[in-house]
Amino acid sequence: MEITIFGSGYVGLVTGACLAEVGNDVLCVDIDQRKIDLLNSGGVPIFEPGLDALIARNRDAGRLSFTTDAAAGVAHGLFQFIAVGTPPDEDGSADLSHVLAVADIIGQNLTDYRIVVDKSTVPVGTADRVAACIRERLNERNQRHEFDVVSNPEFLKEGAAIDDFMRPDRIIVGTDNPRTGELLRALYAPFNRNRDRLLLMDVRSAELTKYAANAMLATKISFMNELANVAEAVGADIERVRIGIGSDPRIGYQFIYPGCGYGGSCFPKDVRALERTATDTGVNVPLLHAVEAVNHRQKDVLFEKINAFFDGDLQGKTFALWGLAFKPNTDDMREASSRRLIEHLWQAGARVRAFDPVATEEARRIYGERADLELLEDQMAALEGTEALIIVTEWNQFRSPDLGAVRDQLASRVIFDGRNMFDPLQVANTGLTYVSIGRQA
């Protein structure tokens, strides 16, 4: 099948490469000439495990190509995916200007039936706005071509996106036209074998499903973070509580890890956008509001522990930081807990020596060269000449360090762990003080 994908960002590239991998002819369109040049010359503008090889294989096979020619994009695919960004506006609502710009282009160039697929995370009602926009452009041209607008939200996790696309838990398709639903079913058939995972529903329910899923997951995390603070105060260990409650299948073990707050480009943005959608329609959502507030607060908890340990005197001290990315297996630092922590440390007059397996370049891009931030290529090298070790991202390679060697580098012999990576007893036995989340020191 012929497919066009507007937007060669994270979602667009993963979607395009995976759809090409199963034999479709995919054309990716982006307005950024440099990005398209990079893709055409064999580069990939984002870090995602496995994506380079997948893109290269399909590009070489002639099934995946890249262009800035939007009209060629509209001519190419029966399916026109919209996978452009929806950054938050200042009031928290999603900025739809990029989505509607693609709708304009489709309306201006449409000459035949097309299925427009909203893949970007967009507020309820966006499919209707996209349809209205295309219809307006068609009217201006005195054209009456048929088209449908479908909501097909993505559920990709950064770091595991290709697997999530190739082996989805569910494929949500929101359409009010049963025939279009069947065409989407055919498109997704290669990813939908053995058990039917495709859920057909009306457009608005599909749009809301995406926000509901992310808000539910964010709620689980904020709940656990709040409980972690309770556990600490009452002399309990949140890690035991986590295992205790996770054993109930109604609760489950997934997504109940306490930590130093959730980050990334999705949860913070989507919780705020859903809150905004609700209040705009006159619905009170105190729970969503609390999820966001708890998370905001949790991003300060580790710093407060550090500050308390050093009696508020961080001036001139140097700290080692392991982890910059908002989670492992990505170089993404959007809304990462590391950022708030680093900025607090700087404000208190401290310096940071940071290591991350892939995100140091991103940190350099965000913060530039500065005297109070050193970015190291090696996790042990980051410890040299520092007061304490702080961990904010649970990369696997941090799980089993030589704790004796760590101890010998840290002047104050203390680890502040925002991800509860170690057994407190084991750390204590090495002669280190261990400060983690929701547990007794």
Residue 71 vs 293, nearer CB to ligand UGA = 293
Closest to 262 measured CA to CA, from 229, 231, 307, 225: 225
Interatomic CA distance for residues 273 and 288, integer angstroms: 10
CB of 321 to ligand UGA, least distance (A): 16
- DSSP annotation of 321 reads E
> Which residue matches tokens 């309990």?
236
Instruction: CB nearer to ligand UGA: give 30 or 158.
Output: 158
Angle at 419 between CA 86 and CA 260, to 5 degrees: 50
Would you say 165 or 310 has its CB closer to ligand UGA? 165
Question: Do 84 and 99 meet the contact criterion of CB atoms below 8 Å apart?
Answer: yes
- Kindly state the smallest distance separating residue 178's Cβ from ligand UGA, in Å: 27
| Rounded least distance, CB 395 to ligand UGA, Å | 11
Per-residue tokens: 284: 């009170």
How far is it, in rounded angstroms, from Cα 299 to Cα 120? 27
Shortest Å, Cβ 394 to ligand UGA: 7
- CA–CA gap between residue 121 and residue 82 (Å, rounded): 10
Give the full edge-to-edge strand order of the sheet including 114-118: 64-67, 25-29, 2-6, 79-82, 114-118, 147-151, 171-174, 198-201
Task: Give the number of other Cβ atoms within 10 Å of residue 126's Cβ.
Answer: 24
Longest dimension (CA), the chain: 78
**Beta carbon nearer to ligand UGA, 243 or 411:** 243
Burial class (CB in 10 A: 0-12, 13-18, 19+), 191: middle
Residue where the block lists tokens 């710009």: 101
Contact 312, 342 (CB under 8 A): no
User: Which residue shows structure tokens 């480009």?
Assistant: 265
DSSP secondary structure string for all residues of 149-197: EEE----PPTTSHHHHHHS-S-EEEE-S-HHHHHHHHHHHGGGS-SS--
- 355 vs 395, beta carbon nearer ligand UGA: 395
Site for ligand UGA, rule CB under 6 A: 121, 154-158, 214, 217, 221, 255-257, 259, 262-264, 266-267, 326-327
117 beta partners? 81, 150
Nearer to ligand UGA, 94 or 352 (CB): 94
Q: Report, in Å, the least distance between residue 58 CB and ligand UGA.
A: 22
**3-state secondary structure at position 355:** strand
CA gap 206, 154 in Å, rounded: 11
Q: Is 266 a catalytic residue?
A: yes
Shortest distance (Å) from residue 385 CB to ligand UGA: 29
User: In terms of CB distance, is 192 or 433 closer to ligand UGA?
Assistant: 192
Q: Which of 18, 28, 260, 266 is catalytic?
A: 266
Which CB sits closer to ligand UGA, 257 or 319?
257
For the CB of residue 242, give the shortest distance to ligand UGA in the complex, in Å.
9
Task: Name which of 154, 149, 156 is nearest 203 in CA terms.
Answer: 149
Give the shortest CB-77-to-ligand UGA separation in angstroms: 23
| DSSP-based three-state secondary structure for 46 | coil
Q: What residue type is assigned to position 100 of the chain? A: L
353 DSSP β-pair partners: 320, 374
Catalytic residues: 266
